[in-house]
Structure 1
Amino acid sequence: MGRLKLLWALVSHYKYAITIVVGILLVGFVDENSFMHRVQLEMQISDLTDEINRYNEQNAADLQQLRELRRGAKAYERIARERYFMQADDEDIYVLSDDEKPVTSNNETIE
């Protein structure tokens, strides 16, 4: 019984401090509008802003290519050669790549 009275005296003496600490913990970590949730949303907004900027740059590049296509047949020919490796009847195309080949292991003991 002595411990209970001592605990009650301690709680009643520091009731405002305990209330403030519990309130800060609730608002900071547990609540739906907590600071941690706010930081996560700010990071998500930053990622989405970067994605919007990337799409805007891609849109500008595609619009530039569309303008080139409207100019004439030379643009069609250039794009067909660069992207789709099309060729004229009297020419050969060689594709050179700097990509590294995937490393494969012939270790049969793994399976």
Structure 2
Amino acid sequence: MVTLKETGRFISRYKYWVTLGIFLLVIGVLDENSLIQRFAHKREISKLNAEIEFYRKQYEEDSKMLKEITSNKEALEKVAREKYLMKKENEDIFIFEEDLK
């Protein structure tokens, strides 16, 4: 069994290595801003940046669609027919399940 004296001698003999080990343990694992947390935050930031890019592209497409709808009556009718399944009088619409997907 290791006694307190032996532990003290070990620490005094390898004080720099023990200090370095404790420092790496605190920085790498125990600290609030540890390396593990930094990698997790970096992964989350990249995921959020990808989501931002997705919504930016969707916004640009929707802006183009809105501009086209407000300036062109035929485009408005096309969107109403395709997206909202609207129809003219005396007209029948057939919906196929494959087309909705």
TM-score (norm 1): 0.80
Tell me the CA shift for residue 32 of structure 1: 1.6
Contact 2:70 2:76 survives alignment (8 Å) = no
User: Paired residues, what number?
Assistant: 98
**Higher share in helix:** 2
Alignment of 1:41-80 (within 5 A): 41-80=41-80
After TM superposition, the score normalised by the length of structure 2 is 0.87
Extract unaligned runs of 5+ from structure 2.
none
Q: In the alignment, what sits opposite 2:14?
A: 14
Aligned-pair CA distance for 1:98: 2.5
Q: Tell me, what secondary structure is at the counterpart of 1:8?
A: helix
| Deviations 1:6-36, CA, capped at 9 Å, x for gaps | 2221221111111110101101111122111
Residue 91 of structure 1: how far off its partner (Å): 1.2
Identity rate, percent? 36
Q: CA RMSD in A?
A: 1.7
SS at match of 2:22: helix
| Counterpart position of 2:84 | 84
Residue 32 of structure 1 aligns with an amino acid whose one-letter code is E
User: Any unmatched runs of 5+ in structure 1?
Assistant: 100-111
Q: Deviations over 1:31-59 (max 9, x none)?
A: 12211111111111101100110111011
1:3 Cα offset (Å): 3.1
Q: Stretches of 4+ moved more than 6 A in 1?
A: none
